[in-house]
């Protein structure tokens, strides 16, 4: 069968970073094609090129057999390619009809054909079972309804080919069911759909074929008939790192951190459900799982950045009442955030100032409210040496350092606290192999000195190489904690896909 869309040797670079490396892909008419990959694998870049948000540096896109080049989303739209972004491109203050009509040039007249448009929207809504009222204000709609408005926007513009970027990330389970029903209707009526996700179970349920991306490269395209979720998980996260191996048997029996029955929610939707675990002194507990299953929320609750609905967090046997970043810091909890630039560093401030960001008030660095520059510099020089931070000086703004060196600054700052517990969220994301290994080495050293570490990572290899015990986070629930000896990739891969032992598929 002729592919409706074909991609040949597509390359996109941002500076020296290759986001998409010579991708080849063919999408068939009328299929639902999954695009699977972790954050940063290059899915969004690829889709932004298809929808005209970005232009490729090399390679070509063939649509219906003809080479095309889209300079803007509008050009892609008029060719029949529509995109539903993960973060909706809707204007909440306007009505559905206004959102749909915005930017259309079909009418010659400068006035809206409001009634006509409403009728058309209603007709589309009925045909595809979208259940959207054109007069409603978008801000009054539920998230699921807003997403259907986005779909209507593409259909109204005559889209034959619809790209959905992580459409289920923001939906509740019942809304997911509704979305899948709509997608099936669309497929029946001949539309082609690209479904971007990293949720394996959903892909299995709705898609015909799947293409896996990892680190900007295309790993393979497969029919979903002959492939297990565990295979997919491996294709998506697998990478071979010669990581340092964890020495076994140094863990004491004293509980350091104990979490019991932790619940949290985001605007009414539960994001963490009954999480319980314990970490002993000097132990590393690895939390594996596909991105977006509650990792971020768990780390935020533990560090006091997000409030919990229920549950007890105990540190050294003492229950922590009211968590705030400051009190957690003082209790000896270190935090390596997922997003270095947003949460980890003040990019315009110098390396030395960032290094003391959690201790500037301590005697060591300030007296009578005045910061000792000499001590700050001494400390910075020491840390720069000890962590081999590549910088032309301690007074250089930290934003000028490379990503790996920025992470070293964070690591140095957190380890300086001699923490009892480190909550490390994706500590090596986006780093090259060498820098990642260095981070691993320092984390292992810290644990050997008695520090307990909660390592949350979507990279299975990382979790398996470092952890004493491994648990899997799936849809806000912690599934099957296991010792490293009894953990094998297949079992973890199944759990990551939501396949519980002795249980049927959970959606």
Q: Which one of the spans 1-9, 89-97, 201-209, 214-222 is the region binding another protein (CB under 8 A)? A: 89-97
Q: Which is nearer to another protein, 66 or 342 (CB)?
A: 342
The reply on whether position 349 binds another protein by CB under 8 A is yes
The reply on whether position 437 binds another protein by CB under 8 A is yes
Which residues from 26-55 bind another protein, rule CB under 8 A? 53-55
Polymer length of the chain: 507
Residue with structure tokens 């932004």?
48
Q: Which one of the spans 227-235, 315-323, 342-350, 470-478 is the region binding another protein (CB under 8 A)? A: 342-350
Q: Which is nearer to another protein, 105 or 322 (CB)?
A: 105
Which residues from 143-162 bind another protein, rule CB under 8 A? 153
Q: How far is the CB of 250 from another protein (least distance, A)?
A: 21
Beta bridge partners of 7: 25, 61
The reply on whether position 348 binds another protein by CB under 8 A is yes
The reply on whether position 393 binds another protein by CB under 8 A is yes
The reply on whether position 402 binds another protein by CB under 8 A is yes
CA distances to 32, 132, 152, 298 from 456, rounded to whole Å, are 32, 39, 38, 9
Q: How far is the CB of 103 from another protein (least distance, A)?
A: 3
Distance of CA 428 to the CA centre of its chain: 14
CB 221 within 8 A of CB 27: no
How wide is the angle at C-alpha 483 spanned by C-alphas 214 and 197, nearest 5°?
A: 25
Q: Which one of the spans 173-181, 193-201, 213-221, 355-363 is the region binding another protein (CB under 8 A)? A: 355-363
The reply on whether position 326 binds another protein by CB under 8 A is yes
CB 469 within 8 A of CB 482: yes
Q: Which one of the spans 189-197, 231-239, 428-436, 459-467 is the region binding another protein (CB under 8 A)? A: 428-436
Q: Which helix (H) or strand (E) holds 452?
A: strand 452-456
Q: Which one of the spans 100-108, 209-217, 312-320, 494-502 is the region binding another protein (CB under 8 A)? A: 100-108
**Contact with another protein (CB under 8 A) among 67, 373, 386, 448:** 373
The reply on whether position 15 binds another protein by CB under 8 A is yes
d(C-alpha 501, C-alpha 272), whole Å = 21
Q: Which helix (H) or strand (E) holds 135?
A: none
**Contact with another protein (CB under 8 A) among 63, 180, 303, 474:** 303
Q: Hey, is 470 helix, strand or coil?
A: strand
CB 416 within 8 A of CB 385: no
The 3-state secondary structure of 153-175, one letter per residue:
HHHHCCCCEEEEECCCCCCCHHH
User: Which structure tokens are listed for 202?
Assistant: 């959903």
**Contact with another protein (CB under 8 A) among 161, 180, 335, 387:** 335
């Amino acid at each position: 069968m002729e592919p409706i869309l074909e991609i040949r040797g597509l390359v996109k670079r941002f500076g020296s970073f290759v986001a998409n490396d010579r991708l080849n892909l063919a999408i068939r008419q009328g299929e639902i094609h999954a695009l699977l990959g972790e954050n940063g694998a290059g899915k969004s870049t690829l889709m932004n090129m298809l929808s005209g948000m970005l232009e490729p540096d090399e390679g070509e896109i063939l649509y219906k057999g003809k080479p095309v080049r889209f300079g803007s989303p509008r050009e892609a739209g008029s060719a029949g390619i529509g995109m539903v972004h993960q973060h909706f491109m809707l204007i909440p203050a306007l009505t559905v009809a206004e959102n749909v009509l915005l930017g259309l040039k079909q009418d010659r007249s400068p006035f809206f054909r409001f009634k006509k448009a409403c009728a058309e929207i209603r007709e589309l809504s009925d045909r595809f079972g979208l259940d959207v009222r054109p007069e409603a204000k978008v801000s009054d709609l539920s998230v699921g309804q807003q997403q259907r408005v986005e779909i209507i926007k593409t259909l109204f513009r005559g889209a034959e080919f619809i790209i959905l970027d992580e459409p289920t990330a923001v939906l509740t389970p019942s809304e997911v069911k509704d979305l899948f029903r709509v997608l099936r209707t669309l497929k029946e009526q001949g539309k082609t759909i690209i479904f971007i996700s990293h949720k394996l179970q959903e892909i299995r349920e709705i898609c015909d074929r799947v293409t896996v991306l990892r680190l900007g490269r295309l790993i393979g395209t497969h029919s979903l008939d002959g492939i297990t979720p565990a295979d997919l998980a491996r294709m998506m996260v697998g990478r071979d790192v010669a990581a340092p191996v964890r020495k076994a048997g140094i863990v004491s029996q004293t509980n350091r951190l104990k979490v019991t029955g932790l619940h949290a929610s985001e605007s009414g939707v539960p994001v963490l459900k009954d999480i319980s675990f314990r970490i002993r002194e000097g132990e590393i507990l690895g939390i594996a799982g596909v991105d977006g299953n509650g990792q971020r929320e768990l780390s935020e609750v533990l560090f006091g950045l997000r409030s919990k609905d229920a549950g007890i967090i105990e540190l050294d046997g003492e229950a922590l009442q009211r968590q705030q970043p400051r009190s957690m810091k003082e209790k000896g909890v270190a935090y390596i955030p997922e997003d270095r630039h947003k949460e980890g560093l003040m990019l315009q401030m110098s390396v030395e100032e960032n290094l003391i960001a959690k201790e500037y008030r301590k005697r060591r660095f300030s007296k009578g409210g005045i910061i000792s520059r000499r001590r700050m510099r001494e400390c910075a020089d020491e840390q720069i040496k000890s962590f081999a931070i590549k910088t032309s000086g301690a007074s250089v703004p930290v934003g000028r350092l490379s990503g790996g060196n920025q992470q070293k600054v964070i690591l140095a700052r957190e380890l300086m606290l001699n923490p009892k517990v480190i909550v490390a969220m994706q500590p090596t994301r986006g780093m090259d192999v060498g820098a990642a290994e260095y981070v691993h080495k320092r984390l292992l050293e810290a644990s050997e000195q008695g520090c307990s570490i909660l390592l949350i990572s979507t990279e299975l290899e990382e979790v398996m190489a470092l952890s004493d015990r491994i648990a899997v986070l799936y849809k806000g629930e912690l599934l099957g904690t296991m010792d490293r000896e009894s953990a094998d990739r297949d079992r973890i891969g199944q759990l990551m896909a939501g396949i519980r032992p002795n249980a049927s598929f959970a959606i």
